[in-house]
Chains A and B, each alone.
Chain A
Amino acid sequence: MLEQTVQYILSGLTIGSIYAIAAIGYNIIYNATGIINFAQGEFIMVGAMTAITLSAFLPLPLAILFAVIITALLGALIEICCIRWLDRPSVLRMIIITIGLSILIREAALHIWDEKVRSLRFFTGNEVSSVSVFGAHISPQVLWVLGICALIVVLLNVFFKYTLTGRSIRACSSDKMAASLCGINTRNMVTLSFMLSGAIGALAGCVISPITQTQYDCGTHLAIKGFAVAVFGGLGNSMAAVAAGLIVGLLETFSITVMPLAYTDAISIAILLLVLFFRPSGLFGNREAGRLKEF
């Protein structure tokens, strides 16, 4: 019984942390630009697919490193081509653009990689190796996912709090005009947020790939979950997204014990709807801040 509970908790935390990273990806771009980048899920897919392809020629760590860099560059490309030249676009226009981009990237991925389901190899061991935690047998990859997601969160916090560039990005989110009056090139900071968002998405895609596998359209699913989590935590609040992600992950896994498997996906959507109805500023967001935002 205990083993089974531990098993559920760990697998809930695993998918939950991936949702959290996807949500943080939304938040970084949302904070910098006020827009929801619906192509966030595609960053995850492109990161994983690129790493899978590269891992045929390169050692795994290098393949992942290049995949992260390439996805970051894709993020920069998207921003420079589709976002940068827009002069104060409306929210609706941005939504349409990013949804369009997400479809475009997905179709391009279909052409590049076909529709086969692939997966990156396990970071340590293989499908059958397992470690035991409180009697529960889990794949070592689960520990990789938890570890890397935790590392991403810690590093992002350090970056935004203590580095000049991180502080500049925060300055741009809080007041663009004031930031440029400090001498900060606000457009470059927006590009950088897209790169950052792409990079962490790609890294998340790589660590999860051995467990969940990757296909050209797997981004959509994660994008929806990530979005639900971002809204649940309160848009723009990355630490809240972590908590919200873990909660959603746990709810999903435990729902299997009381509901048919097919309903797990409905959980996050139900949460999204409930939050939007009753607490649009999110679980941890304050109402004031929620009202100040653009939607």
Chain B
Amino acid sequence: MIRVRNLESGYGALRVLKGVSLHVDKGEIVTIIGANGAGKSTLLKTLASIVRPRSGTILLNRAPVVRSSAETIVAMGCSLVPEGRHVFGAMTVVENLALGAYIQYKRGKKYEIEEDLPYVFSIFPTLLARKTQLAGTLSGGEQQMLAMARALMARPGLLMLDEPSMGLAPLMVKELFSVVRRLRDEGKTILLVEQNAKAALGVADRGYVLETGRIVLEGASRELLDNKDVQRAYLGKEYRKINE
């Protein structure tokens, strides 16, 4: 689905990604975990062409992504749900969703959009009840749902989620992650960035560990969950416990 080789990226003089390589195959849930400031959001923003890469190659569905704009990436079937939701606060839930379907409208797929609206409401029933509410007045969890629903309206093959669990209660996190699993079962590919490593590795097939702009570890989720370094650094277990 997406292949990244030696990606370097940053802001101005600041180098954030220092040669990242990774791949996500069709139908997988892949997670990227890492500490604050490791460059996770920068990685996703670079993949979404919000931030321009300095060097390296990105292949999306085998097609190279070269100096393209964020809009073309969406049109190529890859949608990012950014960190911090970024819903259109002064617009209603339905207006937000209609904007999510912008490229579908441009392609003239009116019929599909009419199917997609009930579909996203079936995934997030809470949104249906809040259809005409302004997005800015939704709770944090509802805004996260709306941000995901909006991205789904573009019918992406690859959905990139940047810290969907941020600031949410454990129950809500569970609900969101079950949605992530459902989406995968329905044929979507998912790249999930998370602080909450335990929950993320619980849902993902594979994972990468990003540290200061470099991938330091990769493997199946099971392996990463059992890995001592990961346990210590990201799962909050202490040495003593691990050695017991």
Q: List A residues at the B interface (Cβ < 8 Å).
A: 164, 167-168, 170-171, 174-175, 177-185
Contacts and interface: CB of A to CB of B under 8 A. Distances in A.
A168 B103 CA distance: 11
B98 A178 contact: no
A167 B91 contact: yes
Task: Give the interface SS of chain A, mostly helix, strand, loop or mixed.
Answer: helix
Which 6 residue pairs are nearest across A and B when measured between Cβ atoms?
A183-B74, A183-B103, A178-B86, A180-B70, A183-B102, A174-B88
B107 to A, nearest CB: 10
Interface residues on B, range: 20 to 34
Contact of A182 (B50, B89, B100): B100
Interface of B: 48, 50, 69-71, 74-75, 79-80, 82, 86-91, 95, 98-100, 102-103, 105-106, 150-151, 154
Most buried by B among A164, A183, A184: A183
B74 A171 contact: no
A171 B99 contact: yes
A178 to B, nearest CB: 4
A181 B74 CA distance: 7
A217 to B, nearest CB: 38
A174 B74 contact: no
Contacts of A174: 88-91
11 contacts: A168-B99, A170-B88, A174-B89, A177-B50, A178-B87, A181-B50, A181-B79, A181-B80, A181-B82, A183-B74, A184-B71
Contacts of A185: 69, 71
Contact of B98 (A164, A175, A179): A164
A183 B80 CA distance: 11
Nearest to B105: A164
Contact of B102 (A164, A170, A175, A177): A164
Contact of B154 (A170, A178, A183): A183
A185 B73 CA distance: 12
Contacts of B151: 181
Interface centre among A174, A178, A180 (most CB of B within 10 A): A178
Contact of A175 (B70, B74, B86, B154): B86
Given A168-B99, A177-B82, A177-B86, A182 B154 contact: yes
